[in-house]
Amino acid sequence: MVDKSRYQKMFPVSWEQLHRDCRALSWRLVERGPWKGILAITRGGLVPAAIIARELDIHLIDTICLSSYNWKDQGEANILKEVDCDGEGWLLIDDLVDTGKTAKIARDMVPKAHFATVYAKPEGRPTVDTFITEVSQDTWILFPWDAGTQFVEPIVQVNE
């Protein structure tokens, strides 16, 4: 479950919305290229990186593997895989910047990369160069890979 004390709002993102937002991010990034490749921050950056790579015709994709989130909370970031470059000419892609803790680690690894996220929260926003949608700090973004389809009770039920 989502930590109710930290997150007061829910922002569900559908696959279609994510695709639209990644295309919008691609439009913002196209004029800043050309790019050598994409560095996707795993795992959340993998799907946006694939969409952006398609839109910008980028075929070279690598990963920076960091782990800080699980479905319950945000913990300390663990570096699982680094890259051997300073990021010059590369796009660094993630789905979201939240507090900026994970983003700072990635930014320190590749300080010359252009850092872009689809969504940004106020605390983390200064660590990224480009993003599409800002949400409040107390909002949980529910990504389509973390959600399932299920029946929802009607708001009102009239007894007959």
What's the whole-number mean pLDDT along residues 97-123?
96
What lies within 8 Å, CB to CB, of 39 at 6+ separation is 61, 62, 63, 64, 83, 87, 90, 91, 92, 93, 110, 113
74 pLDDT more than 80: no
Of residues 105 and 74, the one with the higher pLDDT is 105
CB 127 within 8 A of CB 107: yes
1 pLDDT more than 60: no
What's the whole-number mean pLDDT along residues 73-100?
87
Residues above pLDDT 70, as percent of the chain: 91
| Residue 69 confidence (pLDDT) | 58
- The pLDDT-based confidence of 63 (bands split at 50, 70, 90) is very high
Global pTM? Answer: 0.84
Question: What does the alpha-carbon distance between residue 19 and residue 51 come to, in Å, rounded to a whole number?
Answer: 7
What's the whole-number mean pLDDT along residues 20-27?
98
What's the whole-number mean pLDDT along residues 8-34?
95
Of residues 50 and 156, the one with the higher pLDDT is 50
Question: What does the alpha-carbon distance between residue 63 and residue 45 come to, in Å, rounded to a whole number?
Answer: 9
| Residue 157 confidence (pLDDT) | 79
Residues labelled catalytic: 94-95, 98
Going by C-alpha positions, the residue among 148, 145, 146, 136 that lies closest to residue 6 is 136
Which string of b and e fits 20-56 if b means at least 16 CB within 10 Å?
ebbeebbeebeeeeebebbbbbeebbbbbbebbbebb
Domains of the chain: 15-144 (3.40.50.2020)
Q: Mean pLDDT lowest for which of 10-19, 87-96, 103-112, 146-155?
A: 146-155
Average pLDDT over the chain, rounded to an integer: 90
